[in-house]
Structure 1
Amino acid sequence: MTRTALYPGTFDPITNGHLDILLAALTVSDRVVVAIGVHPSKKTMFTSDERKAMIADVIAGLPTDKRDRVSVTSFDGLTVAAAQAAGAEVLVRGLRNAADFDYEMQMAATNAVLAPEIRTVFLPASPSSRHITATLVRQIARMGGDVAPFVPPAIVERLKSKAAPPASST
Protein backbone atom coordinates (compact mmCIF):
# COMPACT_ATOMS: atom_id res chain seq x y z
CA MET A 1 0.00 0.00 0.00
CA THR A 2 1.25 3.46 -0.89
CA ARG A 3 1.22 6.04 1.90
CA THR A 4 0.30 9.43 0.47
CA ALA A 5 0.93 12.68 2.31
CA LEU A 6 -0.55 16.07 1.49
CA TYR A 7 1.77 19.02 2.10
CA PRO A 8 -0.50 22.08 2.02
CA GLY A 9 0.58 25.69 2.00
CA THR A 10 0.49 28.98 0.16
CA PHE A 11 4.04 28.59 -1.21
CA ASP A 12 4.25 32.27 -2.16
CA PRO A 13 7.01 31.60 -3.13
CA ILE A 14 8.36 28.14 -2.34
CA THR A 15 11.38 28.60 -0.05
CA ASN A 16 14.30 26.47 1.09
CA GLY A 17 12.27 25.91 4.26
CA HIS A 18 9.41 24.45 2.23
CA LEU A 19 11.87 22.29 0.30
CA ASP A 20 13.39 21.08 3.58
CA ILE A 21 9.97 19.92 4.82
CA LEU A 22 9.11 18.36 1.44
CA LEU A 23 12.31 16.30 1.51
CA ALA A 24 11.59 15.25 5.10
CA ALA A 25 8.04 14.26 4.10
CA LEU A 26 9.49 11.97 1.44
CA THR A 27 11.29 10.04 4.18
CA VAL A 28 8.02 9.21 5.96
CA SER A 29 5.70 8.70 2.99
CA ASP A 30 5.75 7.02 -0.39
CA ARG A 31 4.17 9.92 -2.24
CA VAL A 32 3.77 13.62 -1.43
CA VAL A 33 1.20 15.91 -2.99
CA VAL A 34 2.21 19.55 -2.64
CA ALA A 35 -1.11 21.38 -2.38
CA ILE A 36 -1.24 25.10 -3.08
CA GLY A 37 -3.95 26.81 -1.09
CA VAL A 38 -5.84 29.39 -3.13
CA HIS A 39 -7.90 31.85 -1.12
CA PRO A 40 -9.46 34.86 -2.88
CA SER A 41 -9.10 37.05 0.22
CA LYS A 42 -5.37 36.39 0.51
CA LYS A 43 -3.10 38.76 -1.41
CA THR A 44 -0.26 36.79 -2.95
CA MET A 45 2.73 37.96 -4.93
CA PHE A 46 2.40 35.08 -7.40
CA THR A 47 -0.71 33.63 -9.01
CA SER A 48 -1.67 30.04 -8.33
CA ASP A 49 -0.40 29.04 -11.78
CA GLU A 50 2.93 30.82 -11.20
CA ARG A 51 3.35 29.09 -7.83
CA LYS A 52 2.52 25.74 -9.40
CA ALA A 53 5.11 26.32 -12.14
CA MET A 54 7.76 27.35 -9.62
CA ILE A 55 7.15 24.27 -7.49
CA ALA A 56 7.28 22.08 -10.60
CA ASP A 57 10.65 23.64 -11.51
CA VAL A 58 12.00 22.92 -8.02
CA ILE A 59 10.71 19.35 -8.13
CA ALA A 60 12.28 18.86 -11.56
CA GLY A 61 15.66 19.56 -9.94
CA LEU A 62 15.28 16.72 -7.43
CA PRO A 63 16.90 13.32 -7.95
CA THR A 64 14.65 10.99 -9.95
CA ASP A 65 13.86 8.75 -6.98
CA LYS A 66 12.37 11.77 -5.17
CA ARG A 67 10.98 13.70 -8.16
CA ASP A 68 8.85 10.77 -9.28
CA ARG A 69 7.13 10.64 -5.89
CA VAL A 70 5.97 14.28 -5.80
CA SER A 71 3.03 15.93 -7.53
CA VAL A 72 1.53 19.42 -7.32
CA THR A 73 -2.10 20.49 -7.14
CA SER A 74 -4.09 23.47 -5.91
CA PHE A 75 -7.20 23.71 -3.78
CA ASP A 76 -9.61 26.38 -2.62
CA GLY A 77 -11.57 24.64 0.11
CA LEU A 78 -10.81 22.77 3.28
CA THR A 79 -7.38 21.19 3.56
CA VAL A 80 -8.89 17.88 4.67
CA ALA A 81 -11.10 17.87 1.55
CA ALA A 82 -7.98 18.36 -0.57
CA ALA A 83 -6.32 15.50 1.31
CA GLN A 84 -9.31 13.25 0.71
CA ALA A 85 -9.36 14.18 -3.00
CA ALA A 86 -5.65 13.33 -3.26
CA GLY A 87 -6.08 10.02 -1.46
CA ALA A 88 -3.82 11.21 1.36
CA GLU A 89 -3.85 9.60 4.78
CA VAL A 90 -1.46 12.15 6.24
CA LEU A 91 -1.20 15.94 6.38
CA VAL A 92 2.38 17.18 6.65
CA ARG A 93 3.07 20.37 8.56
CA GLY A 94 6.46 21.93 9.16
CA LEU A 95 7.35 23.43 12.52
CA ARG A 96 9.94 26.16 12.97
CA ASN A 97 9.21 27.22 16.54
CA ALA A 98 6.80 27.08 19.47
CA ALA A 99 4.43 29.59 17.88
CA ASP A 100 4.09 27.31 14.84
CA PHE A 101 3.46 24.38 17.17
CA ASP A 102 0.62 26.13 19.03
CA TYR A 103 -1.11 27.17 15.81
CA GLU A 104 -0.59 23.82 14.09
CA MET A 105 -1.91 21.88 17.10
CA GLN A 106 -5.18 23.83 16.87
CA MET A 107 -5.41 23.13 13.15
CA ALA A 108 -4.59 19.42 13.65
CA ALA A 109 -7.32 19.10 16.29
CA THR A 110 -9.86 20.79 14.03
CA ASN A 111 -8.87 18.67 11.04
CA ALA A 112 -9.11 15.52 13.19
CA VAL A 113 -12.74 16.36 13.95
CA LEU A 114 -13.51 17.08 10.29
CA ALA A 115 -11.68 14.01 8.93
CA PRO A 116 -10.63 11.57 11.67
CA GLU A 117 -9.13 9.18 9.11
CA ILE A 118 -6.46 11.74 8.20
CA ARG A 119 -3.56 12.20 10.62
CA THR A 120 -1.40 15.30 10.90
CA VAL A 121 2.34 14.72 11.09
CA PHE A 122 4.62 17.50 12.31
CA LEU A 123 8.12 17.69 10.87
CA PRO A 124 10.68 19.98 12.48
CA ALA A 125 12.50 22.38 10.21
CA SER A 126 16.22 21.86 9.91
CA PRO A 127 18.31 24.41 11.83
CA SER A 128 19.56 25.85 8.53
CA SER A 129 16.04 26.73 7.38
CA ARG A 130 14.21 27.36 10.64
CA HIS A 131 14.36 31.15 10.22
CA ILE A 132 12.97 31.26 6.68
CA THR A 133 9.44 32.44 5.99
CA ALA A 134 7.89 33.30 2.64
CA THR A 135 6.76 36.63 4.14
CA LEU A 136 10.34 37.61 4.96
CA VAL A 137 11.55 36.41 1.56
CA ARG A 138 8.96 38.62 -0.18
CA GLN A 139 10.00 41.59 1.97
CA ILE A 140 13.68 41.07 1.16
CA ALA A 141 12.86 40.82 -2.54
CA ARG A 142 10.69 43.96 -2.51
CA MET A 143 13.50 45.89 -0.83
CA GLY A 144 16.06 44.75 -3.39
CA GLY A 145 17.88 42.31 -1.11
CA ASP A 146 19.53 39.05 -2.08
CA VAL A 147 16.99 36.23 -1.79
CA ALA A 148 19.38 33.51 -3.03
CA PRO A 149 20.16 32.14 0.47
CA PHE A 150 16.44 31.62 1.15
CA VAL A 151 14.94 30.10 -2.01
CA PRO A 152 15.89 27.34 -4.45
CA PRO A 153 17.92 28.58 -7.44
CA ALA A 154 14.95 28.09 -9.80
CA ILE A 155 13.04 30.76 -7.87
CA VAL A 156 15.60 33.58 -7.52
CA GLU A 157 15.07 35.34 -10.87
CA ARG A 158 11.30 34.95 -10.81
CA LEU A 159 11.18 36.51 -7.37
CA LYS A 160 13.50 39.36 -8.37
CA SER A 161 11.49 40.22 -11.49
CA LYS A 162 8.14 39.97 -9.70
CA ALA A 163 9.31 42.14 -6.81
CA ALA A 164 11.07 44.73 -8.94
CA PRO A 165 9.44 48.16 -8.78
CA PRO A 166 7.86 49.33 -12.06
CA ALA A 167 10.20 51.26 -14.34
CA SER A 168 10.00 55.02 -13.94
CA SER A 169 8.49 56.92 -16.87
CA THR A 170 10.66 60.00 -16.36
Structure 2
Amino acid sequence: MSNVAIYPGTFDPITFGHIDVIKKSLKLFSKVIVAVSDGENKKYLFDVNERIEIVKKALFSDLKLNKKKIMIISFTSLTTDLCKKYKSNIILRGLRAVSDFEYEFQLAGMNRKLNNDIETLFLMSDVENQIISSRFVKEIVKLGGDIKKFTTKSTIRSLKEKYE
Protein backbone atom coordinates (compact mmCIF):
# COMPACT_ATOMS: atom_id res chain seq x y z
CA MET A 1 0.00 0.00 0.00
CA SER A 2 1.10 3.52 -0.74
CA ASN A 3 2.40 5.63 2.12
CA VAL A 4 1.01 8.76 0.47
CA ALA A 5 -2.64 9.50 -0.18
CA ILE A 6 -4.12 12.39 -2.15
CA TYR A 7 -7.29 14.03 -0.82
CA PRO A 8 -8.55 16.32 -3.60
CA GLY A 9 -11.38 18.80 -3.21
CA THR A 10 -12.42 22.41 -3.46
CA PHE A 11 -12.46 23.01 0.32
CA ASP A 12 -14.50 26.17 -0.20
CA PRO A 13 -14.39 26.26 2.82
CA ILE A 14 -13.05 23.29 4.76
CA THR A 15 -15.60 21.75 7.15
CA PHE A 16 -15.56 19.27 10.02
CA GLY A 17 -16.65 16.64 7.47
CA HIS A 18 -13.45 17.21 5.48
CA ILE A 19 -11.45 17.27 8.70
CA ASP A 20 -12.90 13.91 9.78
CA VAL A 21 -11.69 12.38 6.52
CA ILE A 22 -8.24 13.90 6.99
CA LYS A 23 -7.95 12.69 10.59
CA LYS A 24 -9.03 9.16 9.64
CA SER A 25 -6.61 9.09 6.71
CA LEU A 26 -3.71 10.07 9.00
CA LYS A 27 -4.23 6.75 10.80
CA LEU A 28 -3.82 4.89 7.50
CA PHE A 29 -1.06 6.77 5.67
CA SER A 30 2.27 8.30 6.57
CA LYS A 31 1.49 11.39 4.48
CA VAL A 32 -1.75 12.95 3.27
CA ILE A 33 -1.71 15.55 0.53
CA VAL A 34 -4.71 17.86 0.76
CA ALA A 35 -5.04 18.99 -2.85
CA VAL A 36 -7.07 22.16 -3.26
CA SER A 37 -8.61 22.29 -6.72
CA ASP A 38 -8.33 25.44 -8.77
CA GLY A 39 -10.44 24.17 -11.65
CA GLU A 40 -12.27 26.67 -13.80
CA ASN A 41 -15.58 24.79 -13.84
CA LYS A 42 -16.70 26.05 -10.43
CA LYS A 43 -17.43 29.42 -8.93
CA TYR A 44 -15.53 29.75 -5.67
CA LEU A 45 -16.17 32.05 -2.73
CA PHE A 46 -12.45 32.04 -1.88
CA ASP A 47 -9.64 31.99 -4.44
CA VAL A 48 -7.22 29.08 -4.30
CA ASN A 49 -4.61 30.91 -2.21
CA GLU A 50 -7.24 31.94 0.33
CA ARG A 51 -8.54 28.36 0.52
CA ILE A 52 -5.02 27.01 1.08
CA GLU A 53 -4.49 29.50 3.93
CA ILE A 54 -7.88 28.64 5.45
CA VAL A 55 -7.05 24.92 5.34
CA LYS A 56 -3.62 25.53 6.89
CA LYS A 57 -5.08 27.62 9.73
CA ALA A 58 -7.85 25.08 10.37
CA LEU A 59 -5.55 22.05 10.43
CA PHE A 60 -2.39 23.47 11.98
CA SER A 61 -3.46 26.44 14.12
CA ASP A 62 -6.96 25.47 15.26
CA LEU A 63 -6.52 21.70 15.47
CA LYS A 64 -2.73 21.37 15.87
CA LEU A 65 -2.50 18.44 13.44
CA ASN A 66 0.95 17.13 12.51
CA LYS A 67 2.49 19.37 9.81
CA LYS A 68 4.97 16.64 8.93
CA LYS A 69 2.16 14.29 7.87
CA ILE A 70 0.04 16.75 5.89
CA MET A 71 0.97 18.68 2.77
CA ILE A 72 -1.43 21.27 1.36
CA ILE A 73 -1.13 22.11 -2.33
CA SER A 74 -3.18 23.56 -5.15
CA PHE A 75 -3.72 21.83 -8.47
CA THR A 76 -5.38 22.33 -11.84
CA SER A 77 -4.50 18.97 -13.39
CA LEU A 78 -6.20 15.61 -13.43
CA THR A 79 -6.06 13.98 -10.00
CA THR A 80 -4.40 10.94 -11.61
CA ASP A 81 -1.57 13.20 -12.83
CA LEU A 82 -1.24 14.54 -9.30
CA CYS A 83 -0.92 10.96 -8.03
CA LYS A 84 1.87 10.31 -10.51
CA LYS A 85 3.68 13.52 -9.51
CA TYR A 86 3.58 12.64 -5.79
CA LYS A 87 4.10 8.89 -6.28
CA SER A 88 0.75 7.96 -4.78
CA ASN A 89 -1.67 5.29 -5.92
CA ILE A 90 -4.42 6.31 -3.48
CA ILE A 91 -7.12 8.93 -3.95
CA LEU A 92 -9.21 9.66 -0.88
CA ARG A 93 -12.82 10.71 -1.18
CA GLY A 94 -15.31 11.51 1.54
CA LEU A 95 -18.85 10.18 1.50
CA ARG A 96 -21.64 11.87 3.42
CA ALA A 97 -24.76 10.15 2.19
CA VAL A 98 -26.03 7.74 -0.41
CA SER A 99 -26.64 10.72 -2.69
CA ASP A 100 -22.86 11.29 -2.93
CA PHE A 101 -22.18 7.73 -3.96
CA GLU A 102 -23.28 7.79 -7.61
CA TYR A 103 -21.08 10.76 -8.51
CA GLU A 104 -18.14 9.45 -6.48
CA PHE A 105 -18.51 5.97 -8.00
CA GLN A 106 -18.38 7.43 -11.52
CA LEU A 107 -15.40 9.61 -10.63
CA ALA A 108 -13.52 6.64 -9.15
CA GLY A 109 -14.26 4.63 -12.29
CA MET A 110 -12.97 7.36 -14.57
CA ASN A 111 -9.81 7.75 -12.50
CA ARG A 112 -9.33 3.98 -12.68
CA LYS A 113 -9.67 4.08 -16.47
CA LEU A 114 -7.11 6.89 -16.64
CA ASN A 115 -4.64 4.97 -14.46
CA ASN A 116 -5.32 1.34 -13.58
CA ASP A 117 -2.81 1.47 -10.69
CA ILE A 118 -4.81 4.03 -8.73
CA GLU A 119 -7.32 3.03 -6.08
CA THR A 120 -9.98 5.31 -4.66
CA LEU A 121 -10.73 4.86 -0.97
CA PHE A 122 -13.98 6.19 0.41
CA LEU A 123 -14.00 7.39 4.00
CA MET A 124 -17.08 8.53 5.85
CA SER A 125 -17.04 11.37 8.30
CA ASP A 126 -18.54 10.79 11.72
CA VAL A 127 -22.34 10.72 11.85
CA GLU A 128 -22.66 14.20 13.34
CA ASN A 129 -20.70 15.65 10.39
CA GLN A 130 -22.29 13.76 7.52
CA ILE A 131 -24.87 16.45 6.84
CA ILE A 132 -22.31 19.24 6.53
CA SER A 133 -21.49 20.66 3.12
CA SER A 134 -19.43 23.71 2.23
CA ARG A 135 -22.39 25.04 0.26
CA PHE A 136 -24.69 24.94 3.30
CA VAL A 137 -22.04 26.45 5.57
CA LYS A 138 -21.64 29.40 3.19
CA GLU A 139 -25.39 29.87 2.97
CA ILE A 140 -25.88 29.76 6.74
CA VAL A 141 -23.12 32.28 7.45
CA LYS A 142 -24.35 34.56 4.66
CA LEU A 143 -27.77 34.63 6.35
CA GLY A 144 -26.24 35.35 9.76
CA GLY A 145 -26.55 31.86 11.23
CA ASP A 146 -24.24 30.10 13.67
CA ILE A 147 -21.78 27.69 12.02
CA LYS A 148 -19.53 26.78 14.95
CA LYS A 149 -20.76 23.15 14.81
CA PHE A 150 -19.64 22.89 11.18
CA THR A 151 -16.12 24.28 10.93
CA THR A 152 -13.16 25.68 12.86
CA LYS A 153 -12.84 29.11 14.50
CA SER A 154 -10.38 30.48 11.97
CA THR A 155 -12.56 29.31 9.07
CA ILE A 156 -15.56 31.03 10.65
CA ARG A 157 -13.54 34.25 10.87
CA SER A 158 -12.56 33.98 7.19
CA LEU A 159 -16.18 33.41 6.18
CA LYS A 160 -17.48 36.32 8.25
CA GLU A 161 -14.81 38.63 6.81
CA LYS A 162 -15.82 37.60 3.29
CA TYR A 163 -19.48 38.40 3.91
CA GLU A 164 -18.96 41.71 5.80
Give the TM-score band, short-chain normalised: over 0.9
Give the share of equivalent positions with the same residue, in percent.
33
Normalised to the residue count of structure 2, the TM-score between the two structures is 0.93
Partner of 2:116: 116
RMSD: 1.5
CA distance in 2: counterparts of 1:31 and 1:71, whole angstroms:
8
Runs of 5+ unmatched residues, structure 2: none
Runs of 5+ unmatched residues, structure 1: 165-170
Maintained 8 Å contact 1:4/1:29: yes
Partner of 2:154: 154
Which of structure 1's runs of 4+ aligned residues deviate more than 4 A? none
Task: State the secondary structure of the residue aligned to 1:13.
Answer: coil
Deviations 1:93-124 (A, max 9, x none): 01111111111111111100101111100001
Partner of 1:9: 9
Deviation at 1:26, TM superposition (A): 0.8
Partner of 2:69: 69
Partner of 2:145: 145
Deviation at 1:41, TM superposition (A): 3.2
Partner of 1:80: 80
Deviation at 1:81, TM superposition (A): 1.1
Normalised to the residue count of structure 1, the TM-score between the two structures is 0.90
Q: For the pair shown, which has the larger CA radius of gyration, 1 or 2? A: 1
Q: Does 1:18 align with 2:18?
A: yes
The alignment covers a number of residue pairs equal to 163
